[in-house]
């Protein structure tokens, strides 16, 4: 067995993934990373280290005409040669981006994960694999840093996360924590495979490409192991972020339970209760740390509004400001029209005012967002 596939097996065990009887979908673009992943999985299956029901999935993004089709054919042939089943979908990602007013990279990513989720569902797959490496991790951390992300962005790509709730499918990146891109390339070459080159990997119009080709090389002049350093930081921050997220959820629960006590049975019939968003107890929140309070409020607002779209830090801080002394009776209006009211010891989510709803028909509600 090669060192690369032994490393993959070690990570597979660390991640406590099943060694047998799992339906697994592997996303393969034809680039060196996902090709190396597929080759190493095949090696482990042949050596009877793992026994998976494996399906190779390829999305043709249709961004580069004939070359896109050639990539798809190439992956299809590789899968056939390795004795794996293969599924292909062609999608016009450029059109999708245009329709959704989205950028091309984001649109391509969404199309890929939707495709993988659909295939996984049909296949009753427990696991979906992608070939992200440590280099992808470092790039993601930097792209998020350039945006001024908080801890969740800086924690980068998750090695394992839930892709679907039901049936529960895991999205796993088994190369993320150990493999460098140079290693996937070398492994492909050693196996006699010439992986496909995505020309977009050289188009410096994409921020990710510039991070890879300009920013990281400059950072390497400070620390030759900066990719490792960034991956380590991401890993530490991921644990920190998970800890804070859990505690934020618990704080939210406590604050709403205490609010129910405070308001008593009369409180149940308030407008807030009608909206099914519980009121929160001010003291419980005010005595928590700002970090946990912001997380609790963020989750609460997501419940009330249905999502977090257009909710920025400034709005969160405005709601947080209602917890200070002497803010009884104050209201904060959120983008989209929902409002939060401080009433004595309670914080109430009011939803959109009725007149606001009527008045905004046909309007661009973006105009209403607080800055």
Q: Is residue 75 a contact point for its own copies (CB under 8 A)?
A: no
> Residue from 205, 218, 354, 358 that binds its own copies (CB under 8 A)?
218
Q: What is the DSSP letter of 196?
A: P
Q: Which of residues 179-208 bind its own copies (CB under 8 A)?
A: 207
Q: Which of residues 219-238 bind its own copies (CB under 8 A)?
A: 219, 221-223, 225-226, 228-230, 232-233, 236-237
Cβ at position 354, least distance to its own copies in Å = 36
Whats the size of the chain, residue-wise? 371
Q: Is residue 240 a contact point for its own copies (CB under 8 A)?
A: yes
Both ends of the chain: CA-CA distance in Å? 58
Task: Report the relative pairing of strands 160-164 and 169-172 from DSSP bridges.
Answer: antiparallel
* Tokens coding 247: 């505690």
Interface segment toward its own copies; rule CB under 8 A; list 15-23, 142-150, 300-308, 337-345: 142-150
Cβ at position 306, least distance to its own copies in Å = 25
State the alpha helices, DSSP H only, in the chain.
3-14, 32-46, 66-81, 93-100, 104-123, 134-146, 151-154, 181-190, 207-210, 216-220, 226-267, 271-274, 282-286, 290-305, 313-321, 354-359
> Residue from 150, 267, 353, 356 that binds its own copies (CB under 8 A)?
150
Helix (H) or strand (E) holding 57: strand 51-60
Planar angle of CA 265, 277, 341, nearest 5 degrees: 85
Cβ at position 224, least distance to its own copies in Å = 11
Q: Which of residues 3-42 bind its own copies (CB under 8 A)?
A: none
> Residue from 68, 164, 242, 270 that binds its own copies (CB under 8 A)?
242
Strand-pair partners of 189: none
Q: Which of residues 298-327 bind its own copies (CB under 8 A)?
A: 313
Interface segment toward its own copies; rule CB under 8 A; list 39-47, 119-127, 163-171, 284-292: 284-292
């Amino acid at each position: 067995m090669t060192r690369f596939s032994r490393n993959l097996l070690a990570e597979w065990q660390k991640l406590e993934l099943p060694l047998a009887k799992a339906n697994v979908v592997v996303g393969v673009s034809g680039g060196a990373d996902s090709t190396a992943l597929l080759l190493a999985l095949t090696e482990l299956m042949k050596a009877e280290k793992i026994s998976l029901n494996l399906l190779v999935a390829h999305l043709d993004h249709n961004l580069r005409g004939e070359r896109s089709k050639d990539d798809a054919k190439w992956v299809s042939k590789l899968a056939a040669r390795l004795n794996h089943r293969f599924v292909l979908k062609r999608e016009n990602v450029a059109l999708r981006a245009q329709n959704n007013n989205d950028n091309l990279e984001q649109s391509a990513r969404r199309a890929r994960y939707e495709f993988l989720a659909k295939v996984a569902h049909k296949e009753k797959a427990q696991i979906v694999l992608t070939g992200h490496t440590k280099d992808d991790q470092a790039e993601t951390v930097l792209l998020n840093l350039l945006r001024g992300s908080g801890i969740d962005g800086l924690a980068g790509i998750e090695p394992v996360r839930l892709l679907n709730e039901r049936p529960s499918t895991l999205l796993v990146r088994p190369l993320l924590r150990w493999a460098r891109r140079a290693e996937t390339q070398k492994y492909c070459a050693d196996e006699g495979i010439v992986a496909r080159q995505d020309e977009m990997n050289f188009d410096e119009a994409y921020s990710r490409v510039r991070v890879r080709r300009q920013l990281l090389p400059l950072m390497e002049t400070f620390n030759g192991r900066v990719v490792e350093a960034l991956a380590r930081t991401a890993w530490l921050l991921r644990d920190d972020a998970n800890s804070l997220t859990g505690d934020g959820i618990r704080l939210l629960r406590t604050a709403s339970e205490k609010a129910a006590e405070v308001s008593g049975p009369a409180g149940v019939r308030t407008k807030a209760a009608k909206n099914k968003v519980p009121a929160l107890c001010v003291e419980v929140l005010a005595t928590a740390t700002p970090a946990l309070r912001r997380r609790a409020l963020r989750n609460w607002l997501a419940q009330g509004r249905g999502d977090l779209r257009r909710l920025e830090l400034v709005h969160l801080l405005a709601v947080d400001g209602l917890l200070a002394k002497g803010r009884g009776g104050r209201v904060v209006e959120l983008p989209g029209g929902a409002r939060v009211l401080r009433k004595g010891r309670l914080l109430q989510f009011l939803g959109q005012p009725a007149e606001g709803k009527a008045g905004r028909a046909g309007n661009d509600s973006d105009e209403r967002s607080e800055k």
